[in-house]
A and B are shown apart, each in its own frame.
Chain A
Amino acid sequence: MKLYCLSGHPTLPCNVLKFKSTTIMLDCGLDTTAVLHFLPLPLVHSPRLSKLPGWVSKDGTISLEKELKECAGRVFVDSLPEFCPPERELVDLSTIDVILISNYHCMMALPYITEHTGFTGTVYATEPTLQIGRLLMEELVAFMERVPKAQSATCWKNKEIQRLLPGPLKEAVEVWTWRRCYSMQEVNSALSKVQLVGYSQKVELFGAVQVTPLSSGYALGSSNWIIQSHYEKVSYVSGSSLLTTHPQPMDQSSLKNSDVLILTGLTQIPTANPDGMLGEFCSNLAMTIRAGGNVLVPCYSSGVIYDLLECLYQFIDSANLASTPLYFISPVANSSLEFSQIFAEWLCQNKQSKVYLPEPPFPHAELIQTNKLKHYPGIYGDFSNEFRQPCVVFTGHPSLRFGDVVHFMELWGKSSLNTVIFTEPDFSYLDALAPYQPLAMKCVYCPIDTRLNFHQVAKLLKEVQPLHVVCPEQYTQPPPTQSHRSDLMLELQPPPMPYRRCSVLGLPFRRRYERIQLLPELAKSLVPAEIKPGISVATVSAVLQTKDNKHVLQPPPKPAPAPPSKKRKRVIEEPPELMSPKPLLSGALPLEPFLSLLHKHGIMEVKVEDTPDGHILHLQAEDTLIQLEEDSTHIVCDNNEALRATLRDLVLRFLQKL
């Protein structure tokens, strides 16, 4: 049993588990932090960006003015942004049998894995994961394709050149594996391979392994997975939350008794309390609006935004901001808001019970109905006509490199009245802002990451008691910026097995047993004998049949009745069928009872001679010797086959057969 690690990003994992002849990919997260090295893609022509100076090395020998631009002392690649997909060399992707998806953020690399790789397997995901994942992919593709950029920069990736570039571009790794965004066609093809599953649904893989998604409490339809056979159990924990937000609470108890627990997707901001951040978000928002400024919230189109809207639903009335328009701008804004209302089964109890009334589970329905929240597919069209300031705009992409957010950064960046509030934890806000410097706009960092923190994980692991824990190496030491915080790491006994990109781990357990079915006819024919109190044994002679990785024992076929053969005389010449050996024997042959049994069978003249280890019995009339020892019996009988057979059967009476 082995684990191949294709991604080094702890919250966007991609691991491959080989278990009982199945190859299972756990998540396929797409590391999008690579886009921070690129210049933003403006929706409308930006004079500022186009006037940025090209980069020339200090000694003037290398000039990549077309590919690299300098802004406020940092160098950016002027090209269509690229992502860092999972490693493709470590495992032959065409051998992957199934992909298990834990939540919609962790499936963004799916087209890179399933398309043009020979992949023929099945992807398993819950319905919300599929639907919202599709929206996020659609959005990503729309963002990229809306502003076509012909140029593709590759010169800078040359090792010799990259070495000379200033940081952080110099430190960027795996740059040759970076890829452009996929197309909508590839998304559709990839998603057509998804098979929907429900929580606690037991899915059989080739009869060998059973996989089950469990609620993980982090997002709509988010799941952890149990991968098990009858005897071994691997839990895959990815992006789980114990906070009560909108999703169904996390199922913890089903993780118990795992042999191995693979732990990924812990909070990226272990020092920030989501509730406190939510409060800060509201107060900053109110302050800016009251001062006449606008608020920009760069965010994903699903997830925390539902909680932010719910929070604002309660907040705006009390803060006297009910007349401030809220705008949600995304190609998938409408779909995201609509979809959130139809997944009652996947929501927390509180929201579920609303559906029974029947009322929409999320209050953003009411915000839309009362015209407080408006959604638009983009900044063009209706939005430009209806747009009123001051306002709050929710829009993507949180990296600030593409999407409508770029436009608002350019538009509002110059005024100190405006505020950008970062709520998504995936990107460093300073890096995200770098190409917009110098910036007059206020910046507030309120990352809301509801995933498990180290304290919660320690408690969880104590409760579910896995034998071994596997986790990204980042979790085995304190964060580099807070190296003194030993509380911000996993401390376990035995210590967790760390992995990094391209690691191959041998998982520490040995399989000993397998499930087999005895057909009822066979079971009925067995004759158990009690060997010790409470323990019985029976010898089984049966035919093994294995089909679809399921094993069945059938009664052995009855020998075909010998055909009335003319060569009857020759029968004895026929050697016995090559058969498996007779059962093993166990037990002891007690002298006195054996002698009396011999006596009963007409063998009277027995001379017993004691030896150091037992006795030798001379059957004088028959000229036969029987040597008895504690663990052996030796019958020496020369010319009387019938007698030998009798003696054999008498001896067998005292012994147990196994």
Chain B
Amino acid sequence: MPEIKVTPLGAGQDVGRSCILVSIGGKNIMLDCGMHMGYNDDRRFPDFSYITQNGRLTEFLDCVIISHFHLDHCGALPYMSEMVGYDGPIYMTHPTKAICPILLEDFRKITVDKKGETNFFTSQMIKDCMKKVVPLNLHQTVQVDDELEIKAYYAGHVLGAAMVQIKVGSESVVYTGDYNMTPDRHLGAAWIDKCRPDVLISESTYATTIRDSKRCRERDFLKKVHETVERGGKVLIPVFALGRAQELCILLETFWERMNLKAPIYFSTGLTEKANHYYKLFITWTNQKIRKTFVQRNMFEFKHIKAFDRSYADNPGPMVVFATPGMLHAGQSLQIFKKWAGNEKNMVIMPGYCVQGTVGHKVLSGQKKLEMEGRTTLEVKLQVEYMSFSAHADAKGIMQLIRMAEPRNVLLVHGEAKKMEFLKDKIEQEFSVSCFMPANGETATIPTNPSVPVDISLSLLKREAALGGPLPDPKRPRTMHATLIMKDSSLRLVCPEQALKELGLNEHQLRFTCRVQLQDPHSDPDTLNRIYSHLKSVLKGYTVQHLPDGTVMVESIVLKVSSSAEEPNTKVVLLSWSYQDEDLGSFLSSLLRKGLPP
């Protein structure tokens, strides 16, 4: 029986280093190729030796698809393609293709230049890797080869994020990447049509959370920022350069404008300006409102938000700073955090998910003393706030997507095992579909039951449709008879006569003739008449005809009556039928043998 196999190399009952292998209809596809933020050793990257022990991956993979530019979805890409070795196509959307290399380069700089790691991919490798990228447009059907096709859907989450449908023959898989089912200030909501995939591979970051209204969260956020700034404190908001950063910038920008606030807002330099430029050029990927008004006012041209300089961190007075990266695990956000952590007037707002092992995660879990590099400890006095602004679907959103796509099976990745367990039960209950949640390295095998496409001759189809009447009768379904001709790889369904003709075969006529003797003291025509009325009354729903040439016809079976002059009361009824009428013919002969009713 055909089956689809799904093996997560990363993101199986975990968040980070998303990398999922799918085998479908003889094709192998890698979905995402991310790195893990919580590790600095080998575990940082997916274990590609699962695919092959020795050498390059090209011959084992038909294609690689990257859902969006977050490093936990694309961070291992140059390592995989250039250091392990893969030369096949890598698919991603245009914005992802534009932004992904910049984030990779940034990541490389932090790892190699600052932390001094060796055995890491180089700038050139990033460039070489990006040369293998084929851009993907929304809803475009891309034919990877003759059998494998992929199609991208809008996923919200970040600029250019996509869900992908992978299809081989009549089997299909949808991989959601990260998605958001509620539109926000700059992105639209994820959408997919009722494509009924065999498997829906969904993220489940917020598997158990049902978030309150976004408006409340935003008001909360603004209130906290405002209060801190009012009392002269500094607010640090660690973000990734692209994504939530733009969302929160738009939020603060409009708030500052409305409240006429003067405290400076900074955005840590480097990526930012460039980042906003990408948003301007890829405005078609943002939400409807921004797209509609961009000619009059481009939402990504900020008036109140200025570039940050390292020296500003020591300036007196209130300020708000957006700094990268988002989980406080390195870079500028961590530096500023170290400077400001000692003052209780200050505040850090974590607007997104933090992976285990990062400073962000520790701070959020309430640690007041942090061990830093070089055995120093850092006392955390500033206020810590967590506010979920990450654009992931919550439990309600995940259920909503399942309802939209109507999958036959669901498979959860990109979430914590316990929460997944809960969601899995809920999905199985509500949709009565199987739900899988394989761990990393574990394979989920999902049987599929594809129907077989066949070419039916139009004349046969039309004839059947006409016989079936304008509306099918569910109580008395018509059975259709046809011949399936299998030649090479083609399957054709034709009516039997045509099949004979096409195959150059002659029909073999099989006929039966039966003489039944009846005792009936009437003249021959009268006997025939009596037979006629008898059959007419028994065979309801059949055509029974009394023909002028002295025969009775039931459908295509002919009955004749004769008698000999010697025994005029012994009638011989002659029946003759072909094999096609066997059921009826056999019935008639048995019926007549029992004689006529008086």
Contact = CB atoms under 8 A, between A and B. Distances in A.
B435 to A, nearest CB: 23
A534 interface: yes
B550 interface: no
Contact of A526 (B98, B484, B497, B590): B484
Given A343-B284, A658-B500, A513 B456 contact: yes
Contact of A535 (B142, B486, B581): B486
B455 A514 contact: yes
B284 A655 contact: no
Interface residues of A, number: 93
B513 A636 contact: yes
Interface string B461-478: 100110010001000011
A372 to B, nearest CB: 21
A528 to B, nearest CB: 6
Given A520-B450, A523-B451, A544-B478, A539 B485 contact: no
A488 interface: no
B274 A197 contact: no
Interface footprint category on B: 35 or more
Nearest to B538: A575
Nearest to A584: B496
A588 B508 contact: yes
Chain B interface, >50% SS class: mixed
Contacts of B538: 573, 575
B587 interface: yes
B564 interface: no
A651 B451 CA distance: 35
Contacts of B138: 198
Contacts of A576: 583-584, 587
A532 B503 contact: yes
A144 interface: no
Contacts of A361: 281
B107 interface: no
Contacts of A538: 483-484, 486
Interface in B257-290: 274, 277-278, 280-284
Interface stretch (A78-86, A331-339, A398-406, A499-507): A331-339
B516 A540 contact: no
Which of A512, A584, A587, A634 has the most chain B CB atoms closer than 10 A to its own CB? A584
Interface stretch (A294-302, A412-420, A612-620, A640-648): A640-648
Given A356-B98, A537-B486, A655-B508, A635 B513 contact: yes
B94 A584 contact: no
B137 A585 contact: no
B515 A541 contact: no
Interface stretch (B202-210, B350-358, B487-495): B487-495
A365 to B, nearest CB: 10
Interface stretch (A67-75, A166-174, A236-244, A549-557): A549-557
B500 A584 contact: yes
A437 interface: no
Interface in A184-206: 197-202
Contact of A581 (B280, B581, B590): B581
A632 B511 contact: yes
A520 B480 contact: no
B507 interface: yes
Contact of B590 (A517, A542, A572, A648): A572
A231 B461 CA distance: 15
A515 B451 CA distance: 12
Nearest to B101: A356
A167 B514 CA distance: 89
A518 interface: yes
A252 interface: no
A579 B579 CA distance: 13
A127 interface: yes
A358 interface: yes
B50 interface: no
A498 interface: no
B541 interface: yes
A582 B582 contact: yes
Nearest to B480: A544
B583 to A, nearest CB: 4
Given A517-B452, A576-B583, A632 B508 contact: yes
B461 A578 contact: no
B508 A631 contact: yes
Contacts of A585: 507-510, 579
A86 to B, nearest CB: 29
Given A342-B281, A517-B451, A518-B451, A582 B508 contact: no
A197 B138 CA distance: 9
B507 A584 contact: yes
Contacts of B280: 342
B479 interface: yes
Contact of A540 (B484, B505, B506): B484
Interface in B170-191: 170
A409 interface: no
A228 interface: no
A515 B282 contact: no
B17 interface: no
Given A631-B507, A631-B509, A342 B294 contact: yes
Interface in A616-636: 630-636
B505 A531 contact: yes
A535 B508 contact: no
Contact of B139 (A198, A519, A532, A553): A198
B487 A534 contact: yes
A634 B450 CA distance: 44
A447 interface: no
In this complex, which of A546, A553, A635 has the most chain B Cβ atoms within 10 angstroms of its Cβ? A553
B586 interface: yes
A520 B451 contact: yes
A588 B452 CA distance: 32
B294 A338 contact: yes
B458 A345 contact: no
A590 interface: no
Contacts of A200: 137, 140-142
Contacts of A512: 457-458
A67 to B, nearest CB: 41
A80 B499 CA distance: 67
Interface in A86-129: 127
A630 B377 CA distance: 102
A528 B483 CA distance: 10
A465 interface: no
Interface in A354-369: 355-356, 358, 360-361
Contacts of A611: none
A60 to B, nearest CB: 56
B429 interface: no
Contacts of B281: 341-342, 344, 355, 358, 360-361
A579 B503 contact: no
A166 B94 CA distance: 58
A545 interface: yes
B485 A535 contact: yes
A541 B514 contact: no
Nearest to B450: A520
A355 B451 contact: no
A11 interface: no
Contact of A511 (B458, B485, B509): B458
* 10 nearest A-B pairs in the assembled complex, by CB-CB distance: A632-B509, A581-B580, A584-B496, A517-B451, A658-B496, A516-B456, A576-B583, A518-B452, A543-B477, A513-B455
Given A635-B512, A639-B593, 18 more contacts: A201-B151, A344-B281, A355-B94, A539-B483, A540-B493, A544-B461, A551-B461, A573-B591, A575-B587, A578-B541, A579-B583, A580-B478, A581-B481, A585-B579, A631-B506, A636-B514, A644-B586, A658-B499
22 contacts: A201-B151, A338-B294, A342-B284, A355-B98, A358-B277, A515-B454, A515-B455, A536-B485, A537-B483, A537-B484, A540-B484, A551-B456, A575-B587, A581-B581, A584-B497, A586-B508, A630-B506, A632-B508, A632-B509, A635-B511, A636-B513, A658-B505
